[in-house]
Amino acid sequence: MRLIFLGPPGAGKGTQASILADIAQVPHISTGDILRQAIADATPLGQKAKDYMDRGDLVPDPLILDLIRDRLSQSDTQKGWILDGFPRNVKQAEFLDQLLAEIHQSANYVVNLEVSDEILVVRLLGRGRTDDNEETIRRRLEVYHGQTAPVITYYQNKGTLHNIPGEDEMAEVTQRLKTLIQG
Ligand code: AMP
């Protein structure tokens, strides 16, 4: 299984990606988690990424593209992967296409979890991550609509996109996803 999760911050990508990764026994690759770990470990990547993340801006592409190239070259990804939080703009999506072609892979599913802004704000405010304060949330939604939402159109045009309603209870959304991947 090779699945790309799209959707705004707070849509439930992380939760659903980790459930599906358990079911399919493939690594759950969250660029946000990798960056937060890098900050916790005070690595050069973490030091470079921190201010962008605190503001709710995207971390510059060169850092993210190196990170994803490294991660997808690790042997555990041979059996598949679930990408969560990448690609976040059209340039990253184009890079991913090229990288996957190089390593003779392709995504079987691109899933877009749909949740309205009103519900996202309520969910994000309730989550309590350091970048979940009101100002950063506003900025992350702005960045999402400006830079990340065009990625949906990118995959729509390639004909590989599945829109999944994401406002219902977690278990119901999981069921929809299972129906998609298990046919
Ligand atoms: P997330 O955990 O996916 O909500 O990501 C948290 C933060 O990490 C985002 O607000 C960005 O600052 C950064 N980030 C995560 N993934 C990416 C990416 N693919 N490109 C750029 N920045 C990212």
Q: Which of 68, 148, 67, 57 is nearest to 107 (CA)?
A: 68
Measured distance CA(52)–CA(113) in Å, rounded: 24
**Structural tokens at position 18:** 């980790």
183 C-alpha to ligand 1 centroid (Å) = 31
CA 87 to chain centre: 7
- Nearest CA, atom 2, ligand 1: 32
Measured distance CA(60)–CA(78) in Å, rounded: 27
Nearest atom (ligand 1) to Cα of 60: 21
Predicted confidence pLDDT, tens digits, the chain (183 residues)? 999 999 999 999 999 999 999 999 999 999 999 999 999 999 999 999 999 999 999 999 999 999 999 999 999 999 999 999 999 999 999 999 999 999 999 999 999 999 999 999 999 999 888 899 999 999 999 999 999 999 999 999 999 899 999 999 999 999 999 999 987
Quote the DSSP letter at residue 95: H
Nearest atom (ligand 1) to Cα of 87: 19
pLDDT reported for residue 183: 74
64 C-alpha to ligand 1 centroid (Å) = 9
**What one-letter code names the amino acid at 82?**
I
Q: Return all residues near 96 (Cβ < 8 A) that are at least 6 apart.
A: 4, 68, 83, 86, 87
Sign of CA dihedral 78, 92, 136, 113: negative
Q: Are 140 and 10 in contact (CB under 8 A)?
A: no
CA 169 to chain centre: 20
Assess whether 71 carries a catalytic annotation: no
Q: What pTM was estimated for this model as a whole?
A: 0.96
Strand runs labelled E in the chain: 2-6, 28-30, 81-84, 109-114, 161-165
